[in-house]
Chain A
């Protein structure tokens, strides 16, 4: 399936170890998720209730949409620190645009956030600046733009009651929120794009061995520009969904969201070095993060700040294990 598969000539023990490594890499987070869900199902009666699960899915969908874009970026070996600010900006723009109707409310954040992503991509691909620093600058830029259009964060644009746009965030189909369906559709498309298209293959090639990809004549620069644009679009879309859900463009959201997105992508088994990753892993990463958060809330007596301690520790454990498993390959 992927180019990192064990060579057929490797000794049996090594092959088995690599198989285990690949399995753990791909399924480790899933296994932990299953265990965590079973344990919390048994220990917290409210966890398994339909209301709680519905809420959990809805809350996960916003971060999931952002993390989908981040997955693409990280597979190409890049990183996008701007998504938190762009997410907040998307929400404010959607609420601001909603006064002119559904289409503007959706198009305005997508256009602006897509443009920010496009600029990120052009700077990364054409000038060779480090993605880290380019998107750091656009983190500041997007936040500055947000403050500029909300009179320094003092104005919160409201979405009028009865606006069709609200359905995007608050509507329900068969009792499940619309954002959940949208996230599922996006992940389905993302998975197809990644696995079944030429573009998806060029993502892996760019992240795996950029020089070789260039020499093979792959459009590396265009690929990069596209993934950063997609990341901006998805973050803006997630912001629009959040605005529709909250019925307003909240200016203070999204601080540190880029770190949440990065950690769920990494927890899901996508390598930060690029060249390997799956969208289903990202779904699992998001689910794991939010289930743990949910449990901490259920316990109630626990300080909610334990959430970030657990997230940090978990991220660390995952990367240490990844590193440990990858060791035999790099030391060949």
Chain B
């Protein structure tokens, strides 16, 4: 907008603002260039495919998380919801893959509605409300599955995890479609504008007559459904329902992706493309470290540093 001033001299605040807005894209590009130059066998279709397939579940969960964070909330239960949906799939595969997937999604929806109800109508802090489901949800999933890993043999269901459509893995396609839809939801619908309004100033939104509670319930419900979808895809890819392990620490990966993507934790802003890129970036970081034979420990240390730096950069503008 104010390009005359920007063009001449960049102040520190402007650099910080620019970094917050575009830092994640810059980081992805830099990492890609680095890998193209220094990593063997990086530039192959098979490799890109692997990277995207691995980033897809995190990306899907992070989309829902971005909406929740946009309302100044957080959903810690996403990993547990993935486990719940995974645990239900083998129970209903007998009725056909469609029924099983539907049940898994309904479980995600129910969990999300539950969280949303607690946050909006009861008025419990998002961290605690979703913490309860994080603690209880995985336990429930393990109780449902009797604590066991259950193999899934239904071919059409497994296609969801391993199959292709037009040469693109189905899970990647699902992630892409959901990203576009979520982007449209945020940008082009009343609901999307309301999310941003509620996150920006909840009491002002309530005074302006916005249905704050319904918006909150809707946001958590969407987040639950997205976690359910991620649970279905992860189960299909693994070829087994593993409620003990599926989605473990997913809440942390998803929050990281959202925050790295430039959505402030203080709400009032949702960046969908940034979130997708955040998920891709974290996957690229991990892949780069693995391909250069750096151990998992280093990967975690680097991830920790990235989170702090990303949030520090994002902080500059939100504190005025």
**Whole-angstrom distance between the Cβ of A177 and the nearest chain B Cβ:** 27
Which residue of chain B has the shortest Cβ distance to A148 in the bound complex? B297
Query: Which of B125, B255, B301 makes the CB contact (< 8 A) with A273?
Result: B125
A313 CB contacts on chain B under 8 angstroms: 132, 136
Q: A35 contacts the other chain (Cβ, under 8 Å)?
A: no
Is B134 part of the contact surface with A, judged by Cβ < 8 Å?
Answer: yes
Evaluate contact between A123 and B139: CB separation under 8 angstroms.
Answer: no
- Does A303 contact B123, Cβ atoms closer than 8 Å? no
Q: Tell me whether A308 and B297 are in contact in the complex, defined as CB-CB below 8 angstroms, given that A316-B118, A323-B124 are known contacts.
A: no
User: What 9 pairs between A and B have smallest CB-CB spacing?
Assistant: A312-B136, A308-B139, A144-B300, A147-B297, A141-B304, A148-B297, A305-B142, A312-B135, A144-B301
Q: Are A266 and B128 in contact (CB under 8 A)?
A: yes
A129–B297 CB distance below 8 A: no
Q: Kindly state whether residue A309 has any CB partner on chain B within 8 Å.
A: yes
How far, in angstroms, from A147 to B299 measured CA to CA in the complex? 10
Q: Are B300 and A143 in contact (CB under 8 A)?
A: yes
Say yes or no for A133: interface residue by CB 8 A criterion: yes
- Kindly list chain A residues whose C-beta atoms are within 8 Å of the C-beta of B296: 144, 147, 152
- Cβ contact of B142, chosen from A143, A145, A303, A310, cutoff 8 A: A303
Q: List 9 A-B contacts (CB under 8 A).
A: A79-B127, A145-B297, A259-B131, A303-B146, A306-B139, A308-B138, A312-B132, A316-B132, A319-B128
A67 to chain B, nearest CB (A): 15
The answer to whether A233 has its CB under 8 Å from any CB of chain B is: no
**By the criterion of a CB under 8 Å from any partner CB, how many residues of chain B are at the interface?**
45
Per-residue CB proximity of A120-132 to B under 8 Å, as 1/0? 0001000111101
B187 within 8 A of A: no
User: In the assembled complex, which residues on chain A have CB atoms less than 8 Å from the CB atom of B135?
Assistant: 259, 263, 308, 311-312, 315
Which stretch from B40-48, B149-157, B196-204, B307-315 is at the chain A interface?
B307-315
Are B139 and A136 interface neighbours, CB within 8 A?
A: no
**Smallest Cβ-Cβ distance to B123: which chain A residue:** A323
Indicate if the CB atoms of A311 and B122 lie closer than 8 Å.
no
Chain B: which residue is nearest A140 at the CB level?
B304
Given known A152-B296, A305-B143, contact A320–B124 (CB-CB < 8 A) = yes
In the complex, B129 has a CB within 8 A of chain A: yes
Whether the Cβ atoms of B140 and A136 lie closer than 8 Å is no
B9 proximal to A (CB < 8 A): no
Task: Give the residues from 263 to 285 in chain B that come closer than 8 angstroms, CB to CB, to chain A.
Answer: 265-266
Flag if B311 contacts A133 (CB, 8 Å): yes
B266 cross-chain contacts in A, Cβ below 8 A: 130
Question: Are A140 and B252 in touch, CB under 8 angstroms?
Answer: yes
Give chain A's interface residue range (CB within 8 Å of chain B): 35 or more
Interface residue A262 (Cβ < 8 Å from any Cβ of B):
yes
Assembly CA distance A143 to B252 (angstroms): 13
A272-B128, A312-B137 are known contacts; what are 16 more A-B pairs with Cβ within 8 Å? Answer: A127-B315, A130-B265, A130-B311, A133-B311, A136-B252, A139-B304, A144-B296, A272-B125, A306-B143, A309-B136, A311-B139, A312-B136, A312-B139, A315-B128, A315-B131, A316-B129
A64 vs chain B, min Cβ distance (A) = 18
Residues 35-68 (chain A) with a chain B CB within 8 angstroms: none
Residues B311 and A148 in contact, CB atoms below 8 Å apart:
no
**A-side contacts of B147, CB under 8 Å:** 303-305
- Does A137 reach chain B (CB closer than 8 Å)? yes
Interface residue ranges of B236-274 to A (CB < 8 Å): 252, 255-256, 259, 265-266
When the two chains form their complex, are residues B143 and A128 in contact, meaning their CB atoms are under 8 A apart?
no
- B residues at A contact (CB < 8 Å): 74, 118, 122-125, 127-129, 131-140, 142-143, 146-147, 252, 255-256, 259, 265-266, 295-301, 303-305, 307-308, 311-312, 315, 319
Minimum distance in angstroms from A153 CB to a CB of chain B: 8
Cβ–Cβ < 8 Å partners of B142 in chain A: 303, 305, 308
Q: Which residues of A contact B133 (CB under 8 A)?
A: 312
Q: Which residues of A contact B312 (CB under 8 A)?
A: 127, 129
Complex formed: what's the CA distance from A316 to B127 in Å? 12
Chain B residues whose C-beta falls within 8 Å of the C-beta of A323 in the assembled complex: 122-124
Q: How far is the CA of A321 from the CA of B67 in the complex (A)?
A: 28
A27 within 8 A of B: no
**Complexed CA–CA distance, A70 and B206 (Å):** 34
Chain A residue numbers with a CB within 8 Å of B134 are: 259, 312
Q: Which of A134, A139, A145, A316 has the most CB of B within 10 A?
A: A316
Is the pair A319, B265 in contact by a Cβ cutoff of 8 Å?
Answer: no
In the complex, chain B residues whose CB is within 8 Å of the CB of A143: 300
Known: A305-B143, A306-B143, A312-B136. A133 touches B265 (CB 8 A): yes
Contact A319 B132 (CB under 8 A): yes
Judge if A307 is at the interface, Cβ distance under 8 Å: yes
Q: A311-B135, A313-B136, A319-B124 are in contact. Are A140 and B300 (CB under 8 A)?
A: yes
Determine if A138 is an interface residue (Cβ-Cβ < 8 Å): yes
Question: In the complex the two chains form, is A133's CB within 8 Å of B259's CB?
Answer: yes
Residues of chain B with a CB closer than 8 A to A305's CB: 139-140, 142-143, 147
**Assuming A127-B315, A128-B315, is B307 touching A140 (CB within 8 A)?**
yes
Residue among A136, A148, A309 making CB contact with B298, cutoff 8 Å: A148
Task: Give chain A residues whose Cβ lies under 8 Å from the Cβ of B128.
Answer: 266, 272, 315, 319
The docked-state distance in angstroms from the alpha carbon of A42 to that of B83 is: 37
- Residues in A with CB closer than 8 Å to B256 are 136
Q: Shortest Cβ distance from A200 into chain B, in angstroms?
A: 24
